[in-house]
């Protein structure tokens, strides 16, 4: 699953002639669809959409 965030447009809805292909809720959009992931990664910087990197589940032992 890929997770994308945007602080600038927390309710962002992206659509084309076929309809809505991505929708953000509270600035977050999660998807497993590879075509949607590719499109979100290709958005212009003006949208301020970034792919969130998952934090490690556990911190390494010191």
- The 10s digit of each residue's pLDDT in 27-39 is 999 999 999 999 9
Query: Please, which residues have CB within 8 angstroms of residue 32's CB and are 6 or more apart in sequence?
Result: 1, 2
Both structure tokens of 31: 């998807």
pLDDT at 55: 46
Instruction: Read off the pTM.
Output: 0.81
What are the structural domain ranges in the chain?
A: 2-51
- If you compute the radius of gyration of the chain from its CA atoms, what whole number of angstroms results? 13
Q: In the predicted model, what is the mean pLDDT of the chain?
A: 90
């Amino acid at each position: 699953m890929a997770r994308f965030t945007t602080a600038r447009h927390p309710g962002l809805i992206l659509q084309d002639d076929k309809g809505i292909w991505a929708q953000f809720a509270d600035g977050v959009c999660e998807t497993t669809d590879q075509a949607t992931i590719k499109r979100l990664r290709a958005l212009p910087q003006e949208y301020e959409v970034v792919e969130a990197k998952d934090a490690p589940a556990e911190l390494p032992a010191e």
